[in-house]
Amino acid sequence: MKLEMVLSISEMTIFLLLTGLGTVANVSVFVNYICTFMGSGEKSIHLILIHLAFTNITMLFSKGVQTPITALGLRHFLGDVGCHIIVYLERVARGLSICTSSLLTVVQAIIMSPRTSWWGRLRLRSVECVLLSLLFFWILNSLISMNLLYSIRNRGTNILQQSKNNKYCYIKKESQKVNNMFLALMVLRDAVFQGAMGGASGYMVLLLHKHHQHVLYLQNSKLLYRTPPELRAAQSVLLLMLCFLFFYLADCAVSLYLSFSLKNDSLTMHLQQFLTLGYAILSPFILIHRDGHLAECWHAQ
């Protein structure tokens, strides 16, 4: 019993440390990009990054609340209403993270593409289009996650459910047809937005390759050439996308393993919790490292 208590406290400490660092980094990115957005610069990209940081904060808060409550054994702390709120926010934030990351990649590809190309003629880079897109993402993900409001329950209110795993909330089985419908919508959303993300990323890789060939030509010609800011930003966005895909695919693989596993593997469940939050924790540090202005602000703080 004492060993289980020590492990629970250790798990809670590590989890709170990671979520705390991720929250501080995301708040720093959120505040600094708001200041930049109010000034000058590429406002559409800054607006998307502000929304991405806010989505990460929501994800860390909704997911981070459950682990300390579970570790401390506070089964009745929030009740059914609390479970509705935190699990619904977590699901919506996860969907927003996918949609926002996809939008970031597409807009960055449009910004760095030649204005005479098909990509360059798109008006999605304007602030008004970005705002409408973000509003659409909120409505879409709120509707797709609506079934959770009817199926989420607090585990402390159901003694039979407590022995199956140690999560704070559980999903009460409702109509299988309804669950399959919402699951199909989630899969369709992920496929569409990740397809757009993949297409835009491939296009940016092609443009970066052409730029690299151009730089080699100028170096051979002994001409001075500096990398344009939009190309440096594209490299940062591609790094973010690789980070996102790694955590997303790893989370899906571990989730499938847990779904078909006949026993509750606590180590694998803890790994899944980290993978779920990995992108939200790591992405602000990538932005801070790649953006010189954010790095200076981070060191100053």
Whether the pLDDT of residue 60 is over 70: the answer is: yes
Domain 2-300 bears CATH identifier 1.20.1070.10: yes
The mean pLDDT of 56-85, rounded to a whole number, is 72
In terms of average pLDDT, the best of 99-103, 151-155, 177-181, 265-269 is 99-103
Average pLDDT score over the chain: 76
Range picked from 28-32, 70-74, 158-162 for highest mean pLDDT: 28-32
pLDDT band at 158 (very low <50, low <70, confident <90, very high): very low
Q: What is the pLDDT of residue 123?
A: 61
Contacts for 64 with CB less than 8 Å, ≥ 6 apart:
15, 16, 19, 23, 277
pLDDT of 16? 82
Which pLDDT does position 268 carry in this prediction?
A: 77
Q: Regarding predicted confidence, which is higher, 252 or 83? A: 252
In this predicted structure, the answer to whether residue 187 has a pLDDT above a threshold of 80 is yes
pLDDT above 70: residue 98:
yes
Residues 212-228 pLDDT 10s:
665 555 555 555 455 55
pTM over 0.85: no
